[in-house]
Chains A and B, each alone.
Chain A
């Protein structure tokens, strides 16, 4: 089993958080995992990305130039990472704010999901990242969803635990969409 993903978006969209949660969940499932944040002078409103590699074998590079999947939460991330995605790779796009006419649909397994709108309908637009992570899980089945839920409890400060139930809903909603869309 091997899977890698680059998760990218604006600073503040929570791309680092879902990368961390995914890594934690993969560890919970007994897999090897690396989480590599882009580091540098990051700030809210700037771009941020991280790379997560999951495998049942030893992981060599934590840095991936040609990822098997990407989650892009904004336009600059699509422009930057889509050309690097392997042919046939999984491309999850936040279609709420990305110009979908610019998304190549033939070369990749492309899922256009309005994660902002979905999160907003569920009660908090900030959960767009959870919807996107859920969609990725639904499409890849790389990690069991209950490990993600455990990871949320363990990684989030107890002050934020009141938000977990709603986030689980967002995750599940994303999962259902990801699973359904990837069957087509």
Chain B
């Protein structure tokens, strides 16, 4: 293994915070909640040291609206929380999407519904990929499965947020947030003072007035606004990302994201040891979703099973991808249960019958 750059042993949460620093975050606003509090803890120290703004707000709602304000000024702004806290932020996220502002939102999920508990869960897939708040909008959703990806995808999230002027959400869970793994920092922090110069609010002196808003009352204006948003969401497909693990010769492909995506890899290796050709398809962008690639794989005759730490959410997207070609098996690992590779052996084996 190459040892050019020093590796750091950090939690997934810390990797996200470090990724935010190296990705150029200037403003962070949040309210603490387990299991993601390592993020504000790290940033309260390091972001302030670098001259950034750190505010522990009075609530989740206040913090997402602070993100909106900072984003309107063209700043790289971020918030983080866990499931119930993210629910509270949904109104603000909808306004950020409607106003076409860039923002990075981290959700290190807990089990629900309601206050639930701090055990792992992937129960927020629907909320994340279908907008989450009111109105017909989407957030880009990135799902890391290693601490290195927590770092890499957070950096990417800021670039995507500005590329599309849209909120980008990172969806992780307690397994990923709390586990430690080595990461390599590859990006130097740099702040581009001209970012968003063509739309950000800086005071109109010497130029035409700019308005950033999500209110469209004139006849036809909202229709045009939604059409523009729709086209933007479609265009995000140029940034689709996924990982294929031993799928080439696989008879059965397990589709799983995030922490479950990596746990299933161990199951696949075990089953390969028993002579069963199993592969893993791991979507990294959950919105946009890699429908077309899954369809391609299905056309080559492969069978599918979706495995999630919820009662069946991403499986709907996989079924949409497979529509008219084949069906998809499903295994639900209940939110609150910590999955092990052994849990998935029988459900995958059953697909061979």
Contacts and interface: CB of A to CB of B under 8 A. Distances in A.
Contacts of B262: 59-62
A33 B181 contact: yes
Interface in B28-70: 35
Q: Is the interface of A mostly helix, strand, loop or mixed?
A: loop
B179 A33 contact: no
A115 to B, nearest CB: 24
A63 B182 contact: no
B341 A61 contact: yes
Interface stretch (B161-169, B263-271, B295-303): B263-271
A33 B10 CA distance: 11
A62 B179 contact: yes
B210 to A, nearest CB: 46
B1 A31 contact: yes
A40 B9 contact: no
Contacts of A34: 179-181
Contacts of B182: 27, 32-33
B180 A63 contact: no
Contacts of A65: 340-343
Given A35-B9, A39-B35, A20 B340 contact: no
Interface in A29-43: 30-37, 39-40
B269 A60 contact: yes
A150 interface: no
A144 interface: no
Interface string B311-344: 0000000000000000000000000001111110
A40 B338 CA distance: 12
A118 B181 CA distance: 32
Contacts of B263: 60-63
B179 A61 contact: no
Q: On chain B, which size bracket covers the interface?
A: 20 to 34
A24 B269 CA distance: 26
A99 B266 CA distance: 35
Contacts of B106: none
A39 B266 contact: no
Contact of B340 (A33, A35, A64): A64
Contact of A37 (B178, B267, B269): B178
A109 interface: no
B96 interface: no
B174 interface: yes
B236 interface: no
A120 interface: no
In this complex, the interface size class of chain A, counting residues with CB under 8 Å from chain B, is 20 to 34
Contacts of B35: 39
Given A56-B1, A60-B265, A63-B339, A35 B7 contact: no
Given A34-B179, A35-B181, A66-B342, A60 B266 contact: yes
A23 interface: yes
A155 B240 CA distance: 39
A57 B118 CA distance: 31
B175 interface: yes
B192 to A, nearest CB: 33
B179 A36 contact: yes
B1 A61 contact: no
B308 to A, nearest CB: 16
B3 interface: yes
A61 B262 CA distance: 6
A15 B265 CA distance: 28
Given A20-B9, A34-B179, A62-B181, 8 more contacts: A20-B180, A24-B9, A27-B7, A58-B265, A60-B341, A62-B179, A63-B175, A63-B263
